[in-house]
Amino acid sequence: MKENIAFKLEIDYIERLSADMYKLMEELFPLCRSITGKGVRDTLEIIGKHIPIQVEEVPSGTQAFDWTVPKEWNIKDAYIRDSKGEKIVDFNSSNLHVVNYSIPVDRKMTLEELKPYIHTLPEHPDWIPYVTSYYKDSWGFCMTHNQYMNLQEDEYEVLIDSSLENGSLTYGELCLKGEKEDEILLTCYICHPSMCNDNLSGTVLLTFLAKELMRLDLIYSYRFLFIPETIGAITWLSNNEKKVSNIKSGLVATCVGDSGALTYKRSRKGDSLIDKAVERVLKESGAEYKIMDFFPYGSDERQFSSPGFALDIGSLMRTPYGCYNEYHTSADNLGFISPNHLYDSLLKYRQVIEIIENNRTFLNMNPKCEPQLGRQGIYEQLGGQYGTEKDIKHAILWVLNLSDGSNSLLDIATRSGMGFRSIRSASDVLAAAGLVTEMKLEGLD
Ligand code: ZN
């Protein structure tokens, strides 16, 4: 049996890792990402300095099920200039000022003509909203409501120096091969411009998670995707149908940097391996957490869980998209997330993987009544490791009782409410004494 994978938790290591995650956020934050274009390529190039991702380009016009890969969007500059020559809105100060995927514009307009093209958030007058127009030829500017209220009658020079041309959709992929072909999918979206929680946080978390897993001998394989949301997932699924059969479970990483409680959105099935593993980690954390049942909107779990694929994909977040005021605004910035919360989320992802890697099923070799454990010194072997003497006895008895070949250690931990590591340790001691025997590890099914 492979050695337990358990992750290092020294304090200086935690501090360094939290700081490194935040630093990567700061580096990626200014880039103007979208579902295609240079911002995505630049983002993947930076991620590529940390982990060896494969960058793929899928040409515009490629059919992906009911969708078509759109023209590539790039932008060099955008502004609104008043008659005094002063830029009242400047793309260079925030890329949220331009509606993402705006067609090129170069014209003079009165205030009345311009108003229909301006988006604001009256309820948060200091924030700039994030607006997109991916599949409709249109354009617009976003600004704070205060700025909007101060606009005077004037002749404005309106420029959006963008291009929509045949190019490609870009995504990044990394597959870490384990002993088994069965895979866990870990996916995030890289299409949002300057916003942190949604979803640079997920991108940064998966980059560091991949970095950690690369150092370990893994039983299962792990596929990381850095894709534009929706069209990226659909394009990937369409181009990689053959790979899908190996994917047994997975998580969409999004909104993992804010101070809210961890929130888990269950997979479509609701009680799959990933659901049990995540819920166990959250329960064992001792911190407050929330569980949400699956719903067919949200992020890319919708595509991976569509009936033709029906993958068990959950999403482990902190405050979910749409549930915080700063969502899809300029206030979802570097101040809204913190190194500590990013790290805490990473830790939970690692613990989920630790459970999956260490989950086994045993068979009780002495199934007719309990073996005489005192005689064999079983309890002493676990002494002091996990909990009180009573806890140790209980862990032993749970493993013996439920190890009829149909319950995994994770099932036993879930049913007993005991820590996974305690259950795993009990099984190790029982296996060493020949009281249980490990069943052949087939895969993740
Ligand atoms: Zn979003």
Whole-number Å distance, alpha carbon 229 to ligand 1 midpoint, is 8
What is the chain's pLDDT, residue by residue, as a tens digit (445 residues)? 344 455 555 677 888 999 999 999 999 999 999 999 999 999 999 999 999 999 999 999 999 999 999 999 999 999 999 999 999 999 999 999 999 999 999 999 999 999 999 999 999 999 999 999 999 999 999 999 999 999 999 999 999 999 999 999 999 999 999 999 999 999 999 999 999 999 999 999 999 999 999 999 999 999 999 999 999 999 999 999 999 999 999 999 999 999 999 999 999 999 999 999 999 999 999 999 999 999 999 999 999 999 999 999 999 999 999 999 999 999 999 999 999 999 999 999 999 999 999 999 999 999 999 998 888 778 777 766 667 778 888 999 999 999 999 999 999 999 999 999 999 999 999 999 999 999 999 888 7
| Rounded-to-integer distance, Cα 94 and Cα 6, Å | 42
Whole-number Å distance, alpha carbon 130 to ligand 1 midpoint, is 9
Phi-psi region of 317 (alpha: psi -120 to 50; beta: other; left: phi over 0): beta
| Rounded-to-integer distance, Cα 14 and Cα 18, Å | 6
Whole-number Å distance, alpha carbon 47 to ligand 1 midpoint, is 20
pLDDT at 14: 83
Alpha-carbon distances of 364 from 124, 316, 437, rounded to whole Å: 62, 34, 7
Whole-number Å distance, alpha carbon 389 to ligand 1 midpoint, is 49
Whole-number Å distance, alpha carbon 288 to ligand 1 midpoint, is 25
pLDDT at 7: 56
Whole-number Å distance, alpha carbon 230 to ligand 1 midpoint, is 11
Residue-wise pLDDT tens digits, 227-242:
999 999 999 999 999 9
Whole-number Å distance, alpha carbon 16 to ligand 1 midpoint, is 29
Whole-number Å distance, alpha carbon 416 to ligand 1 midpoint, is 38
* pTM, rounded to two decimals: 0.95
Whole-number Å distance, alpha carbon 321 to ligand 1 midpoint, is 7
Whole-number Å distance, alpha carbon 143 to ligand 1 midpoint, is 18
pLDDT at 388: 75
